[in-house]
Amino acid sequence: MIARESTSFFNCEYDPIHKDVRTAFLSEQRTAAKRQDAIDSRRTFLCGCCKRPLKIVGGTENGKKCFHFMHIEVPPEGECDYYEKVPFSKEEIKAMLFHGRTESVQHRQTKGKISSALVSEPDIVNVAVEEVAKHIGKSWRKPDIRADFEDKTVVFEVQLSPIFHHVILERNDAYRDNGWYICWIFDDVNEDHPIMRELDAWVNNNYNLFGFDDEAKAATEKSGRLHLTVKYYVFNIIEDGLNSRLCGKWQTETVQFSDLTFDADHRLVYLHDSNSEKQECIERIECIISECKKEIEEAERLAQLEIERKKEEERKRLIEEQRIEEERQRIHQEKEDVINFIYKIPEYNFPSEMFRLTLEYLGQIDKEGIMILLSSIEANIKYFETDAINKWLKVVCEIVKQRGEGVQTAKYLWNEVIYKFEESGNKILHLSLKDFFSVMGIRDYSRALKLLMRPIDDDTSDWLSSISASDKDFEYYAPLIILNRYYRANRHIPERIANFFADNTREIWCLISAQIGKPFGYKDLQNLKQISNLVWNSYPHISQLFIYLIERNGLVHTISDVKYKNGKPQKSQYQKLKELIDSQKNQPLIEVTLEDLEIIFPAKRETKH
């Protein structure tokens, strides 16, 4: 049992798609409530107090048709608080309606005109007026008119006076169960608000109501064929999302009886198939509402996802804020630790973690702190252990590269480190050639090269890649030759060194540029012949290395051309250089060592740092 409030029910609040076709909906419900099988099974409207079956009745209130519930049977005295006793019973009402009443003239005339017109209908077999038909339902029946056609029987009930609802239902069921069609005929169906008996016939006949009004009578008399005025309901849809609902309007047409549709499955007679139209509209409404619900559900799902996404973003934001704050505090503490550390440098050790932090925060230490750090290092150098002096050298080299401060301290440290590591035979960690060059320039770098664990790190590699034929870089040409020889001796040449010397004349250009203090491409040195001439005339001390590089790089042919003078062959530049080497009583170099190159390449000037 489902509880319903009667006012809300009659306003279609429980079935909102019918609120604009309320009369049709409530007329259907009125018929359904009077079905005996529904009453017997109690699958109908029940009183909220006494639980007895109710029926829907109609009336007029303030000039408008209204519906309300009424008990089908009178409940025992005092058993139902909702029951309002009416002054008359159904039998008393029936007696008052029909007491002393005889068939009216209008009723007889209507039957006469309809029956007369039916005689002219095609396929008519017999027309009977007020003839008893036995075994119709559970009793005999006496319809106003019965028309037998070759393929069907149609009963006409002319209803010009009040009639009980149950009577209409009983006659409909009796005739239709017998395979006959029934047409309820009213006098005037053109009114805007049909009366209750008309609605009862209308809703039970596919929403088609038949009338024999003046227009139908005139058309019948003129044609000699039966015409009826049909008032039917056209259903439509108000598309309004979840509030989509049925709507409709009355339509009236006067048509020939033979133009009506005879539905053999349901024994209905109609002009317009309103039931099918209504069902199509309901299905369409259900589809619209279903789609809207899906859209709403999807929108709600997306909205929920957005809420969850924002919550997740907020959670991550808070976590990130916490991480940033913790990181800030960590950095702050580490910086404090570094500052405290550099103000109190331990004499004998330098922990690896503090070494990493010192390099990381070096750029954030103010100038006063840097100067204190440098002074403290200078004061404690002689006490540092090997590992500590190695690390402090790296720190000071970074200060030089970043700030240009501490050059003298760095030089002092480099000399100490090179001396200690040469003596111990250990390798220098954490530093590279770039660190050496940034402090010491090119002087004595071959000593550092042999001691460095990783002479060419990423920083040094990037720097080597940037060396070009320019005035600012030519002082590093000689070191590049030494690097090339060093890595060849160790059978591992870094890619950048190999790329630099991919042209086999590069070593020779480096040799000469380093000697004369001029970059690659010097205007007086256009080719190897000019260079060999320069070596023979101005730099005889490097002739042995020059010939060594010429021979090793397969370039002897470039300086071996023999010229003729007065028909006599002259010595080639290669021959002259070889004789020069012999005159110096030096043996040709079989392998160039780092020490050889260092002697041949004395520093021309200090590195500018």
Q: Which residues fall within 8 angstroms of residue 179, CB to CB, at 6 or more apart?
A: 153, 267
Compute the CA torsion angle 335, 337, 340, 344 (nearest 10 deg): -130
pLDDT exceeds cutoff 50 at 97: no
pLDDT exceeds cutoff 60 at 590: no
Mean pLDDT across the stretch 589-603? 53
Minimum mean pLDDT range among 94-98, 154-158, 211-215? 94-98
Question: Phi/psi at 585 (nearest 5 deg)?
Answer: 55, 40
pLDDT (0 to 100) of residue 285? 93
From CA 167, how far away is CA 210, in angstroms rounded? 18
Residues 395 and 430 in one domain: yes
Q: What is the DSSP string of 93-133?
A: HHHHHHTT----HHHHHHHHHHHHHHTTSTTEEEEEES--E
Taking residue 277's Cβ as centre, other Cβ atoms within 10 Å add up to 18
Residue 279 maps to a domain: no
Residues 360 and 410 in one domain: yes
Q: Give pLDDT tens digits for 517-555.
A: 666 555 555 678 888 888 888 878 778 878 888 887 788
Residue 403 maps to a domain: yes
Q: Give pLDDT tens digits for 366-401.
A: 888 888 888 888 888 888 888 888 899 999 999 998
pLDDT (0 to 100) of residue 251? 93
Residues 477 and 449 in one domain: no
From CA 437, how far away is CA 448, in angstroms rounded? 10
Report in angstroms the alpha-carbon separations of 231 from 108, 153, 191, 199, 257: 23, 23, 10, 11, 14
Residue 38 maps to a domain: yes
Tokens encoding 363 = 């750029």
Residues 206 and 161 in one domain: yes
Compute the CA torsion angle 474, 480, 482, 483 (nearest 10 deg): 160
pLDDT (0 to 100) of residue 102? 55
Share of the chain above pLDDT 90, in %: 32
pLDDT (0 to 100) of residue 598? 52
pLDDT (0 to 100) of residue 182? 95
From CA 487, how far away is CA 282, in angstroms rounded? 91
From CA 197, how far away is CA 58, in angstroms rounded? 10
Tokens encoding 125 = 């077999």
The confidence band for 99, taking pLDDT boundaries of 50, 70 and 90, is very low
Q: Give pLDDT tens digits for 408-445.
A: 999 989 988 888 888 888 889 999 888 988 888 777 77
Range of the domain at 477: 467-609
0.75 exceeded by pTM: no
The last residue of a domain, from among 243, 272, 301:
272
Q: Which of the pair, 284 or 465, is modelled with greater confidence?
A: 284
Residue 583's H or E segment, with its range, is helix 573-583
Residue 306 maps to a domain: no
From CA 448, how far away is CA 140, in angstroms rounded? 132
Domain count, the chain: 4
From CA 244, how far away is CA 168, in angstroms rounded? 33
Report in angstroms the alpha-carbon separations of 555 from 268, 527, 540, 559: 117, 12, 19, 8
Number of H helices, E strands in the chain: 23, 15
The last residue of a domain, from among 256, 272, 288:
272
Question: Phi/psi at 579 (nearest 5 deg)?
Answer: -65, -35
Residue 241 maps to a domain: yes
Spatial CA neighbour of 390 closest among 362, 424, 365, 366: 424
Strands 568-569 and 133-136: what pairing? unpaired
pLDDT exceeds cutoff 60 at 162: yes
Residues 190 and 231 sit within 8 Å (Cβ to Cβ)? yes
Residue 598 maps to a domain: yes
Q: Give pLDDT tens digits for 411-420.
A: 989 988 888 8
Minimum mean pLDDT range among 164-173, 345-354, 465-474? 465-474
Q: Which of the pair, 25 or 59, is modelled with greater confidence?
A: 25
Taking residue 97's Cβ as centre, other Cβ atoms within 10 Å add up to 12
Find the length of the chain.
609
Residues 416 and 513 in one domain: no
Residue 310 maps to a domain: no
Residues 516 and 454 in one domain: no
The last residue of a domain, from among 406, 432, 458:
458
Residues 364 and 448 in one domain: yes
pLDDT exceeds cutoff 60 at 319: yes
The confidence band for 100, taking pLDDT boundaries of 50, 70 and 90, is very low
From CA 506, how far away is CA 514, in angstroms rounded? 12
Residues 511 and 425 in one domain: no
Residues 131 and 268 in one domain: yes
From CA 66, how far away is CA 533, in angstroms rounded? 128
Report in angstroms the alpha-carbon separations of 316 from 307, 310, 312, 327: 14, 10, 6, 16
pLDDT (0 to 100) of residue 145? 95
Residues 562 and 581 in one domain: yes
Residues 121 and 262 in one domain: yes
Residues 149 and 124 sit within 8 Å (Cβ to Cβ)? yes
pLDDT (0 to 100) of residue 602? 47
Residue type, 533: N
Place of tokens 């549709």: 261
Give me the chain's average pLDDT, please.
81
> Which long-range contacts link 251-254 to residues 24+ away (Cβ below 8 Å)?
252/189, 252/190, 253/229, 254/215, 254/216, 254/219, 254/227, 254/228, 254/229, 254/230
Residue 73 maps to a domain: yes
Q: What is the DSSP string of 267-286?
A: TEEESS-HHHHHHHHHHHHH
Residues 247 and 21 sit within 8 Å (Cβ to Cβ)? yes
Scanning 477-542, the segments in alpha helix (DSSP H) are 477-489, 495-500, 506-516, 528-538
Minimum mean pLDDT range among 191-195, 295-299, 450-454? 191-195
Question: Phi/psi at 257 (nearest 5 deg)?
Answer: -55, -40
pLDDT exceeds cutoff 50 at 604: no
Spatial CA neighbour of 114 closest among 151, 142, 154: 154
Residues 378 and 407 in one domain: yes
